[in-house]
Structure 1
Amino acid sequence: MSLSNSNSNEQLPTVDEHHACEYLGTALTIFVIGASGDLAKKKTYPSLFALYVSGYLPEHVVIVGYARSPKNDVDFRAQIAPWIKPKNSEYEAKKEAFLNKLIYRSGAYDSAEDVGKVSKEMEALEEAKGSSVINRLFYFAIPPSVFVPIGTSIKKAALTTRGWNRLIVEKPFGHDLTSFNKLSADMGALYGEDEIYRIDHYLGKEMVQNLLILRFANAIYEPIWNRNYISSVTITFKEDIGTQGRGGYFDSYGIIRDVMQNHLLQVLSLVAMEPPARAAGKDYSNYIRDEKVKVLNCIEPIKLENTVLGQYQGDKERNEPGYLEDPTVPKGSVTPTFATTVMYVNNPRWAGVPFIMKAGKALNERKGEIRVQFKAPPGAEHMFPGVKIPVQELVMRLQPDEAVYIKMNVKSPGLQTKAISSELDLSYAERYEGAEVPDAYTRLILDVLRGKQAAFVRDDELRAAWTIFTPLLDEIEGQKVKPLPYAFGSRGPKESDELVNKVGFQYHHGAYQWQPRVRTTSALKKDTIKSIEEDQEQEEQELRRSRRKRRPVELLSPSEELPHSKSPNKRRIISTKNEMVEILIRARPAVQATAAARAAAAKKEEKKKKRTQPLVKRKKNTPKKEKETRVILSPVQDEKKKTPLKKRSSKARRSLEPAYSYESQTEYVSNLIAELYEEQEQDDRGMYNISRDTVVTKTSTCKRSQEVQDLSMEEFRRLMTYGEVSVESVSSTILPFLRLGEEDVFFDLGCGTGKILVQAALQTPCKTTIGIELMQNRVQEGEKALARLEERDIPILRGKRIEVLQGDICEPPDEAGLMNATVVFINNVMFGPVLMLKVMALLKDMRKLKRVVMLRKICERHGNEKCTRAGNYCIDYVHPPEEAEIDVSWADKTSVYLYESLEYSLGELRRQMINMQSPTPKGKGKKQSSPVPPVSHADFEAKLDAVAS
């Protein structure tokens, strides 16, 4: 089917005849609400791009993003661009055209006026197309707390009257039955059920979409799809990762609300429902959804005695933290990260058959599957006495690597009469090689455009789902049930296996896992002695052991082969220096183990050499060779003192630390910081018009100094304005000014989310970097980023302290230890004279302070010699300061100023003077400090005069 008004002259991918793409001939505007958030960047816009390049969006489609964070179109497109990843050169050519279609506007969600202004602007673009039909799609990539406010604003000011209006609403749909009913009633008062598309991306997965065809279009399944032949149905969702620094969000939901009440229950309804009157063709959506509601209404509320809860603990060997070790998780949390529950469908088809749901994080593998176990064939035990008949299964792998396989019994090859399990399998990747399986979000957004609601959750479905789970959730939370501990990387609590065994589920020695492969003749011969099942069990055990004992990762040159590829059958070549750095950083515990082993071996070898080497007498007056200090990953050093590249590379190989050019290092650090702070999209980012409400609510829990309390609301709002210095400027200018050493204690006062702290820790030897910030939301974002950083286990950060604390810099929290600071950075652009004087008094009390770097001159208001207060700000600091230009988020350019402590400068000069006058002490075996180059008396006096003046 080719459409002349599409953006491609090629044939469109085949779609169902009904619900075809009539919308392509109309004007279409897509509003992405919450466009600056994580979901929109990672899922919504990439899916829209996939539809665009496939010809499923009109050439002149209008795509407008709406959120509270102010930014222009250029900045917004730059933010989205990294997430648009074309699959081939043809798609790459269309990427720029797609990005140029993106528009961004900001405003409040509860303001019909703001929404109306954007709507009026879009109307002008729609009218320019000359279409008589104008359709509008609103994608809610926002939390449910703002569904009703933005829904109300759209209803008042943004609906089209010349076509359809459709809303895509993301989960979670409530927190329990009561909250869902309220949300449903509020949204139902604004929009009809045919306008609301509640999206559950699991319903867009290829294998879930395949369920109805598999069940009802194959004669071999439907006749046996009932209690007479099926002994159990298990639906599993397993992740091999933990919360990864996002435990604060997860903790408010838990594994049951996060996965089971929605994703897994939707899958169960498709497995257990009765045949719908129609599953394709015209207006079939409600036939399917009607049957799903019927089967859900047959499930009784889940009981606590049929449920096992777990919470993962850390694995020190793999350097994986436990759930409670996640800094974003409340102390003592009893939120489950694992759950197994058994439920029953009380109808004639399924009476007595256990439906088992299992979901968890930090388990032994990543997997989503449906496993249907069949009852033993009648009379088989009598027919084959003494022969154990393995259980038969139908398995549908949902993720990763979609597949369907039947595990059936055959005789083992050879002379034995032994039943063994073999599989008839269909691997989508192998059978349909080259076929493009659309992403779940792409498929579902297309369904919305075509008006297909079958894969979306209806209001009464959700009510039935919450009816099943709410009593269990109330009991768990009311009794504060403590989850059972399980090890990171395990199968979960053993009580889970005991529960499913009790209701009839059978394991294959607890370790069966299907992996499609070609069996050789020698392998078949081997199976006459040892069954295929036992062979598979052994392979599975070896796989688990290999995961626990990770191989050491060696440093690779750019042309060497990467041993750890995601696919064991594929070879990949490292082509860039940056990729090498990324590999090293992600090596995690393996790097540490290899480095420790090498260090131990080197130390042993060095001792051996010392024992065998003859003593060499050093000539008199020959100075000891100064011990070389290596700065790791730091471009901030004197060009003349840089170690030659050849030596630096060899040292980097020995220590597994990358040593590349300044540009490579800065690019790596920039990319790393962008990843760490990927979710930092709060309302006040980069703003000069931060709202008063935000200022009040985000600082209310923190003690404020008198100077801050005396500020007017406008002054306080301006003081809380957030701005950032570019990563490049921090590398090239600020870090050289700071001159951080290993023993320095560095503070960033008013640190925002702490990016400069991270950069200082990465690019200097400094072991302690601490920030103080008054705004609570920025501190929380910083803590999330630091948690992600800790998970990466970067070798050069081991033993370093990086911390973001909430507090007023004029009344710093005790745990910060601000009086120990040796180097301080302050973004004082918004500091008034009174506050600046207070800060200077604070700096004066820091007896260890060496240097202060600021973004405004200390004395700029009192620099004139006629001013009676001239010099009040800098009485203890060298003046004038060193100055340099930097790039910042709030202006084209600004300057940065370095001030050195007078006491520290004099101390340094005195040390040089003493060093110049004192002869080198003699003494056998005494280790002397490296000499400082001497200065003449005249030079010393000149410098002293300059400082004193």
Structure 2
Amino acid sequence: MPTANGGRTNPLRDPRDKRLPRIAGPCGLVIFGVTGDLSRKKLMPAIYDLANRGLLPPGFALTGFARRDWNAEDFGQVVYEAVRKHARTPFRQEVWDRLAEGLRFVQGSFDDDASFDELERTVRELDEKRGTGGNHAFYLSIPPSAFPVVCKQLARSGLSAQEDPDVWRRVVIEKPFGHDLASAKELNAIVNEVFPEDSVFRIDHYLGKETVQNVLALRFANQLFEPIWNANYVDHVQITMAEDIGLGGRAGYYDGIGAARDVIQNHLLQLLAFTAMEEPTSFSSDELRAEKIKVLKAVKLALPLEETSARGQYEGGWQGGEQVPGLKEEEGFNPESTTETFAAITYEVENRRWAGVPFYLRTGKRLGRRVTEIAVVFKRAPHLPFDATMTEELGQNALVIRVQPDEGVTMRFGSKVPGNQMEVRDVTMDFGYGNAFTESSPEAYERLILDVLLGEPSLFPVNEEVERSWEILDPVIEFWADSAEGPDGYPAGSWGPDSSAEMLARTGRHWRRP
């Protein structure tokens, strides 16, 4: 586009250029549950890191709401300590001083009208003194049981009102989004009574990870992979989220929830959707969500469930050179409970691209190591012009996307072993984020909080996605609840119960050992 001086517009100054960082406009954030671990370890440090990267407006305001008998200075000290301990980026005094000017604290309980009236006055004062422009997001870092009363208070006090089309009010919800389909629908109805769906941001922090978003870049920015990303070439897909820790102090909270509800319903089904979805016509939020919902509607359970699912509870043993207790010995856990700490489920995607390809999802605690990965395992070559002895150590080709902790991509393929003989065995080609890029990846909460303030909803599940995910999982939970047999035991430090290995062995497959 010609300019007045006869030159051409610098593409780096083009507002449509997606390479430019997007900076949030005037706004503030209110955190309910500000005294919790999530707020101290993730939210507050992420806000500082965004400010340090120049992505927050100069007048940004952060307001905490809790029962603690704190004043603004006490709250400022809590935020300061959280930032110094957990922030990703270096501490800079000038950044902190600017951020600290916008800190406020409101003491109160969720059922106290006066406290929410004070919060409303605080928000108005911030609009006047900090220039937040009436734009505020409310982060509900609280148990779902408290959502109804907080949403009711936000509506009663006028905090949720969006009368001016140029002013926004948004609500941020942490998982769990219910504990089954019925409760998810009830929760959605409660929130949508106060906030329209386009103002609701449901946080699944896995969707903020760089490597999850890289699934889309890997597939749709390269000609190399998409032609073989289908049932003609793919044998099966394994999606794993393994933790090497036990329940510890969360035993009481975890009882009755379990691994499937805690991880498969949200994190792993979202990873499945990214892996299996069709190419969107654009990366607008509407188009991206449409393709995710479409593929989730095609996801079906492989049957019978007694052969295509497995669950377990970890037992005591040695892990990392340390003797650790079993689940039933964890303080606060009911030894009669059948809540699973390991879950594996087989799904199928009933469409032309994926017909006949099983998707194996597994998650567990006290497993061999902490790792999250997506492994696309390909079919064997239809013909090998080698003697059997030449390829006896050759496995199946695989593309593995490592979500955490060592973010990157690994390709496994066959290569000749150096020497006079023709011998082929597996080798790997590895791409690591830490080696390829000089800038470290932002924390997931940095990306997601910024997207909330920008009103960018692409990485946040909508009602339909949440409810469809429960439809997919509920039959498994009900089957386990009705089963006469409880979860199988597995030793701490292993990769789950024998029933999980048998689930794949029935079709001649086996789990990867990450």
Is 1:234 matched up with 2:266?
A: no
| 1:109 alignment counterpart | 110
Is 1:246 matched up with 2:247?
A: no
Is 1:448 matched up with 2:452?
A: yes
Is 1:358 matched up with 2:381?
A: no
Task: Assess if the C-alpha contact under 8 Å between 2:21 and 2:55 holds in 1.
Answer: no
| 1:168 alignment counterpart | 172
| 1:289 alignment counterpart | 289
Question: 1:76, CA displacement in angstroms?
Answer: 2.2
Aligned mates of 2:90, 2:448 — CA distance in 1: 25
Task: Assess if the C-alpha contact under 8 Å between 2:204 and 2:267 holds in 1.
Answer: yes
Question: 1:53, CA displacement in angstroms?
Answer: 1.3
Aligned mates of 1:480, 1:257 — CA distance in 2: 20
Task: Assess if the C-alpha contact under 8 Å between 1:354 and 1:503 holds in 2.
Answer: no
The residue correspondences of 1:306-385 to structure 2 (distance < 5 A) are 306-315=308-317, 318-380=322-384, 382-385=385-388
Is 1:484 matched up with 2:463?
A: no
SS of the residue corresponding to residue 197 of structure 2 reads: coil
| 2:390 alignment counterpart | 387
| 1:520 alignment counterpart | none
Post-superposition Cα deviations, 1:889-915, rounded to whole Å, max 9, x if no partner, equal xxxxxxxxxxxxxxxxxxxxxxxxxxx
Question: 1:117, CA displacement in angstroms?
Answer: 2.0
Aligned mates of 1:235, 1:506 — CA distance in 2: 13
Task: Give the one of 208, 224, 229 matched to 2:228.
Answer: 224
Question: 1:91, CA displacement in angstroms?
Answer: 2.6
Task: Assess if the C-alpha contact under 8 Å between 1:66 and 1:107 holds in 2.
Answer: yes
The residue correspondences of 1:316-715 to structure 2 (distance < 5 A) are 318-380=322-384, 382-388=385-391, 389-432=394-437, 434-479=438-483, 481-506=485-510
Aligned mates of 2:302, 2:460 — CA distance in 1: 24
SS of the residue corresponding to residue 490 of structure 2 reads: strand
Task: Assess if the C-alpha contact under 8 Å between 2:175 and 2:202 holds in 1.
Answer: yes
1:453 maps to a residue whose letter is P
Aligned mates of 1:193, 1:89 — CA distance in 2: 37
Aligned mates of 1:420, 1:95 — CA distance in 2: 54
Give the TM-score normalised by structure 1.
0.50
Aligned mates of 1:72, 1:90 — CA distance in 2: 24
Instruction: Name the CA shift for 1:343/1:504 in 2 (closer, same or farther; >3 Å).
Output: farther
Show structure 1 runs of 4+ deviating over 6 A: none
Is 1:38 matched up with 2:40?
A: no
Task: Assess if the C-alpha contact under 8 Å between 1:232 and 1:504 holds in 2.
Answer: no
Aligned mates of 2:88, 2:344 — CA distance in 1: 38
SS of the residue corresponding to residue 297 of structure 1 reads: helix
Aligned mates of 2:484, 2:245 — CA distance in 1: 25
Post-superposition Cα deviations, 1:565-584, rounded to whole Å, max 9, x if no partner, equal xxxxxxxxxxxxxxxxxxxx
| 1:156 alignment counterpart | 156
Aligned mates of 1:261, 1:16 — CA distance in 2: 35
Aligned mates of 2:199, 2:19 — CA distance in 1: 19
Identity percentage over the alignment? 36
Task: Assess if the C-alpha contact under 8 Å between 2:52 and 2:89 holds in 1.
Answer: no
Question: 1:93, CA displacement in angstroms?
Answer: 4.6
Post-superposition Cα deviations, 1:254-294, rounded to whole Å, max 9, x if no partner, equal 01011111101100000001111112xxxx10111111111
Instruction: Name the CA shift for 1:442/1:87 in 2 (closer, same or farther; >3 Å).
Output: closer
| 1:587 alignment counterpart | none
1:369 maps to a residue whose letter is E
| 1:214 alignment counterpart | 218
Instruction: Name the CA shift for 1:286/1:18 in 2 (closer, same or farther; >3 Å).
Output: farther
Task: Assess if the C-alpha contact under 8 Å between 1:313 and 1:487 holds in 2.
Answer: yes
Question: 1:156, CA displacement in angstroms?
Answer: 2.5
The residue correspondences of 1:742-753 to structure 2 (distance < 5 A) are none
Question: 1:187, CA displacement in angstroms?
Answer: 1.5
Aligned mates of 1:466, 1:263 — CA distance in 2: 12
Structure having the larger proportion of residues in strand: 2
Ranges in structure 2 where 5+ consecutive residues have no aligned partner: 1-11
Question: 1:245, CA displacement in angstroms?
Answer: 2.3
| 2:75 alignment counterpart | 76
SS of the residue corresponding to residue 189 of structure 1 reads: helix
Task: Assess if the C-alpha contact under 8 Å between 1:310 and 1:492 holds in 2.
Answer: yes
Task: Assess if the C-alpha contact under 8 Å between 2:235 and 2:357 holds in 1.
Answer: yes
| 1:258 alignment counterpart | 262
Structure index of larger Rg: 1
Is 1:270 matched up with 2:279?
A: no
2:314 maps to a residue whose letter is Y
Instruction: Name the CA shift for 1:118/1:343 in 2 (closer, same or farther; >3 Å).
Output: same
Question: 1:411, CA displacement in angstroms?
Answer: 0.8
Task: Assess if the C-alpha contact under 8 Å between 2:124 and 2:134 holds in 1.
Answer: no
Question: 1:95, CA displacement in angstroms?
Answer: 3.0
Higher relative contact order (CA 8 A, sep 6+): 2
Post-superposition Cα deviations, 1:745-799, rounded to whole Å, max 9, x if no partner, equal xxxxxxxxxxxxxxxxxxxxxxxxxxxxxxxxxxxxxxxxxxxxxxxxxxxxxxx
Instruction: Name the CA shift for 1:505/1:256 in 2 (closer, same or farther; >3 Å).
Output: same
SS of the residue corresponding to residue 300 of structure 1 reads: strand
Aligned mates of 2:20, 2:337 — CA distance in 1: 48
Question: 1:383, CA displacement in angstroms?
Answer: 4.8
SS of the residue corresponding to residue 509 of structure 2 reads: coil
Aligned mates of 1:206, 1:351 — CA distance in 2: 29
Question: 1:98, CA displacement in angstroms?
Answer: 2.8
Post-superposition Cα deviations, 1:588-636, rounded to whole Å, max 9, x if no partner, equal xxxxxxxxxxxxxxxxxxxxxxxxxxxxxxxxxxxxxxxxxxxxxxxxx
Task: Assess if the C-alpha contact under 8 Å between 1:311 and 1:337 holds in 2.
Answer: yes
Task: Assess if the C-alpha contact under 8 Å between 1:390 and 1:419 holds in 2.
Answer: no
1:181 maps to a residue whose letter is K
| 1:59 alignment counterpart | 58
SS of the residue corresponding to residue 373 of structure 1 reads: strand
SS of the residue corresponding to residue 456 of structure 2 reads: coil
Ranges in structure 1 where 5+ consecutive residues have no aligned partner: 1-10, 514-949
Question: 1:459, CA displacement in angstroms?
Answer: 0.5
Instruction: Name the CA shift for 1:228/1:89 in 2 (closer, same or farther; >3 Å).
Output: closer
Question: 1:503, CA displacement in angstroms?
Answer: 3.2
Aligned mates of 2:51, 2:414 — CA distance in 1: 48
Question: 1:81, CA displacement in angstroms?
Answer: 2.6
1:378 maps to a residue whose letter is P
SS of the residue corresponding to residue 416 of structure 1 reads: coil
2:396 maps to a residue whose letter is V
Task: Assess if the C-alpha contact under 8 Å between 2:60 and 2:130 holds in 1.
Answer: no
Instruction: Name the CA shift for 1:397/1:129 in 2 (closer, same or farther; >3 Å).
Output: closer
Instruction: Name the CA shift for 1:130/1:103 in 2 (closer, same or farther; >3 Å).
Output: closer
Instruction: Name the CA shift for 1:454/1:65 in 2 (closer, same or farther; >3 Å).
Output: same
Give the TM-score normalised by structure 2.
0.90
Task: Assess if the C-alpha contact under 8 Å between 2:324 and 2:492 holds in 1.
Answer: yes
Post-superposition Cα deviations, 1:501-527, rounded to whole Å, max 9, x if no partner, equal 3234346xx75x5xxxxxxxxxxxxxx
Instruction: Name the CA shift for 1:161/1:128 in 2 (closer, same or farther; >3 Å).
Output: farther
Question: 1:92, CA displacement in angstroms?
Answer: 4.8
The residue correspondences of 1:788-807 to structure 2 (distance < 5 A) are none
Question: 1:400, CA displacement in angstroms?
Answer: 0.4
SS of the residue corresponding to residue 489 of structure 1 reads: coil
Aligned mates of 2:409, 2:421 — CA distance in 1: 30
Is 1:142 matched up with 2:142?
A: yes
The residue correspondences of 1:799-948 to structure 2 (distance < 5 A) are none
SS of the residue corresponding to residue 34 of structure 2 reads: coil
Aligned mates of 1:277, 1:286 — CA distance in 2: 10
2:429 maps to a residue whose letter is L
